[in-house]
Structure 1
Amino acid sequence: MTKEELKNISVEKQEGSTVKIAGEIPYTYLEKHRDAALKHIGKDIQIDGFRKGSVPEKVIIERVGEAAVIAEMAERALSLAYPLIIAEHDIDAVGYPQIGITKIAKDNPLGFTATVAVLPDVTLPDYKEIAKDINAKKPSDEVTDEDVETQIKDILRQKTAYERLQKKAQPADDHEHGEDCDHDHEEEADEAPIEDAADIPVPELTDELVQTLGQPGQFTTVADFKAKIREHLEIQKKQDASSMHRGNLTDAIVEKSEIELPQVMIDAELNQMFAQMEEDLKRASLSTDDYLGHIKKTRDDLKAEWAPTATKRAKLQLVLNEIAQKESIEADAGEVDQQVSALLEQYKDADEARVRIYVQSMLTNEKVMQMLETA
């Protein structure tokens, strides 16, 4: 399609981050698709004396009418013209357009409209100033002696509770007590109240006790046990503090950003969240329908509940993209290639183009977050 054929096209911004494209496509452009339209219509027509798919044009028109052929020509012409139109007018379209035909007749230009969501404009606040303020209030990642002692007590209580349950589950000695007594024992076990974890006594911590914990040989002495518990808590607390801090950073920046988010972007995020849930259920050998039945909710119920989170996630990605553009932040090409290769090795059927987009986005986001954390 030439620029001359695209000249009668207008683009109008509308509310909700959408644009309306309107205009005319010359009939000469439609005529280029006549043979393909006739072939498509003719493949489903069966007439005595003609092989299927070999019906002459005159017979096809007699059967379906000229209007049906022109309508098929128009559909094919628009499907090819639309990408050229949005490229010519630098439209960052999101999702599929809603296309309407306003005028269609033989030997006349095709009148049409197309309404499509676009990437919204993002007005950022002073994100560096916000980051400085949030960075001054970083959550503590310090592990105290009290944290270590609390963790140890929890582990020992869990061990004691597990041993008690095992003891209660052991069958009575049939030779000594008889079957009736065994039955009574089971009833007593069933009726026994569940102990509160805080009420379970904590055994004395000794070298012999710690050697029974974890994997064989994992712990040797009380000092070794405490040191490894502290090390584990330090790693966990650093991760938790970092996650909380990054959440505080992005929440504050997104909240003060101005974004008119199109519904199609929220829907796309919801679909992605739902697909992830289905994948998690599949790995757990559960069906989505069974899970929904268990929690007594429908797909629409979940999507309604998830809508605020989906909106937040969609806005966050737009904000990170905008900051990356303003700060000229890009993912390292070598690192992208390395991670793409690793993922393709792990997921043989993955689409390389999609994997590359994912990796580039992930690495760019990480560099943006690192910049904000040091602002």
Structure 2
Amino acid sequence: MKTTVERLDRSRVSLQIEVEPERVDEALERAYRKVVRRVNIPGFRKGKVPRRILELRMGREVLYDDAMEELVAAAYAEAVKDAALKPVASPDVDVLEFEPGKTMRLKAEVDVLPEVKLGTYAGLKGTRRLRPVTEERVEAVLQELREMQAELVEAPSEEVRPGDYVLVDYEGALEGRPFSGGAARGVTLVAGSDASGPGFQDQLVGMKRGETRDLTVQFPEEGVRQELAGKSVTFRVTVHEIKEKRLPELDDEFARDVSDKESLEELRADVRARLEKDAADEADHALKDDLVRQVVDVSEVEIPTSMEDHELDHVIQELSEELGRQGVTLEQYLEHQGQSVDQLRESFRPDAARRVKTRLVLEELAEAAGIEVREEEVAQRIDEIVNRSSSPSDAFRRYLEEPQQKESLQASLRLRKTLDHLASLAEVETVEVKDGPAGAGGSEAEAGPGASGGPAEAAAD
């Protein structure tokens, strides 16, 4: 067999393959033996029809499909092996000539794993930005723990104050008529907070236990359902209960309740240690991201279109899953964006190409550094995952020990070792960066126990 390899653009190759006449005839004979077993021709027993009669009755073409399918697959595989190619997609094959007793000629084009020309990766300069752990951050975590342990108790005041938790019923009317989502019973809201709408919860302040009052809410033009946009809505609200949040005392008993520590000082030390580890991990992660960006920028890779398209499939699937978690379909998102699927894919193409290039560069870097993962390292990682699980079990361990899962863990460990190696070769300066306000951005604990949404949550677009 003769093969000619031509390199095309974007890591695509063209293979011109010639198969000897003898192999063509042998393939046709095997095809005859296969076809003759499943045809019925009057005057002949099944499987005993001579080849000449079979071809006269059914045409030579009846054998060609089977023979070509066999020869094309075998010849292509042989050509790829001889040329030491690594295809990353299915080939496009054209049979140019196929006749009994003659050389079969075919052409195959296929995307192959691209060559990576690594740029300089030793001695890169990087800055490790470390956020110092301040007393304010430690106290903020302890406060969050207190918030998580808070209880709602009956408020001493008969009148709603800002920050009180108020159990209410409400019925909304738009232009004198009820509307969908405008009524609820037994809802707990935080007075003085605009989280559920423009002014609704502010107007709870001053109401008394058992009081019914009409509250007027002006909805904004955007961010709400179309029928409510810009409209004034009246809500008849009845206050049933007024409660306040009671935080536990920050003492040794509290430490024992929320952790395995025996004293508040031990808990403080543990919180600080965890924050310091998180800060170090965050700084290391950001440093390695920057080093990877640098080496990818100076490396050269011709990414095949098929690899880009495959990555785009993943990107779109990830977006669809993320939207689904928010209760939105991909079709709804596209309609809102005024885009088609093809336009969305093209907008993500640069990111997909970057992801593919990064992965290829890191794989080449691992090869250049001779980085390997031993079987015992994978076993140790499985032990860590199982022991850290909230409910470790033999079934979970067996799942992690399945070949596909072990292969995934091995790839993850190899990547980790590659990033560590890259960082070890870099010139790194560690600098302290100023921390933002403790607790900035808020947390779920700030909403307090039992709080829920109000009218604007139902009105949201």
Q: Which residue of 2 aligns with 1:107?
A: 101
Cα deviation, 1:26-67, whole Å, max 9, x if unaligned, reads 121122222443355567756678888887645643454213
Structure 1 residues 288 and 80: alpha-carbon distance in aligned structure 2, compared to 1, 3 A threshold: farther
Q: From 317, 330, 345, give the equivalent of 1:292.
A: 330
Q: Which has the higher contact order (CA 8 A, sep 6+)?
A: 2
**Is the Cα contact below 8 Å between 2:150 and 2:248 reproduced in 1?**
no
Task: Report what 1:180 is aligned to.
Answer: none
Aligned residue for 2:303, secondary structure, equals coil
- Give the direction of change, closer, same or farther, for the CA distance of 1:299–1:52 in structure 2 (3 Å limit): farther
- Name the CA distance, whole Å, in 1 between partners of 2:65 and 2:85: 26
Instruction: Look up the match of 2:430.
Output: none
Contact 1:340/1:355, CA 8 A, preserved across alignment: no
The structure 2 residue matched to 1:231, chosen from 249, 255, 273, is: 273
2:407 paired with 1:369: no
Note if 1:317 corresponds to 2:355: no
Letter in 1 for 2:128: K
Counterpart of 2:249? 206
Q: Give the alignment of 1:1-375 within 5 angstroms.
A: 6=1, 8-38=2-32, 41=35, 57-58=51-52, 60-62=54-56, 64-130=58-124, 133-134=125-126, 137-153=127-143, 167-169=165-167, 186=185, 194-195=193-194, 206-207=249-250, 211=254, 222-271=264-313, 291-293=329-331, 295-296=333-334, 303-304=345-346, 306-336=348-378, 345-347=398-400, 350=402, 352=403, 357-375=407-425
For structure 1, the residue ranges without an aligned partner over 5 or more in a row are 1-5, 173-183
One-letter identity of the residue aligned with 2:284: S
TM-score, structure 2 normalization: 0.60
Distance in structure 2 (CA, Å) of the matches to 1:194 and 1:50: 91
Deviation at 1:366, TM superposition (A): 2.3
Query: Are the equivalent residues in 2 in contact too, given 1:74–1:110 (CA < 8 A)?
Result: no
Q: 1:55 to 1:308 in 2, by over 3 A?
A: farther
Distance of 1:216 and 1:191 partners within structure 2: 26
Counterparts of 2:259 and 2:397 in 1: how far apart (Å)?
37
Cα deviation for residue 128 of structure 1 reads 0.9
Number of matched residues? 345
Mapped partners of 1:157, 1:169: distance in 2: 20
Taking a change above 3 Å as real, the CA distance of residues 186 and 9 of structure 1, as seen in their structure-2 partners, is closer
CA-CA distance at 1:362 after TM superposition: 3.0
Q: Deviations over 1:278-314 (max 9, x none)?
A: 8x78xxxx79997435645787676555544432232
Task: Give the match's secondary structure for 2:123.
Answer: helix
Percent identity over the alignment is 21
Aligned residue type for 1:292: L
Query: Is the partner of 1:24 in helix, strand or coil?
Result: strand
TM-score (norm 1): 0.71
Gap change, CA 1:162 and 1:233, over 3 Å in 2: farther
Unpaired segments of 5 or more residues in structure 2? 154-161, 171-182, 197-201, 203-243, 387-395, 426-461
Aligned counterparts of 1:125 and 1:370: Cα–Cα separation in 2: 18
State the alpha-carbon separation in 2 of the partners of residues 145 and 268 from structure 1. Answer: 48
More strand by share: 2
C-alpha RMSD of matched pairs (Å):
4.7
CA contact (8 A) 2:312 2:348 kept: yes
Could you tell me how far 1:221 is from its partner in structure 2? 5.6
**Is the radius of gyration larger for structure 1 or structure 2?**
2
Structure whose residues are more often helix by fraction: 1
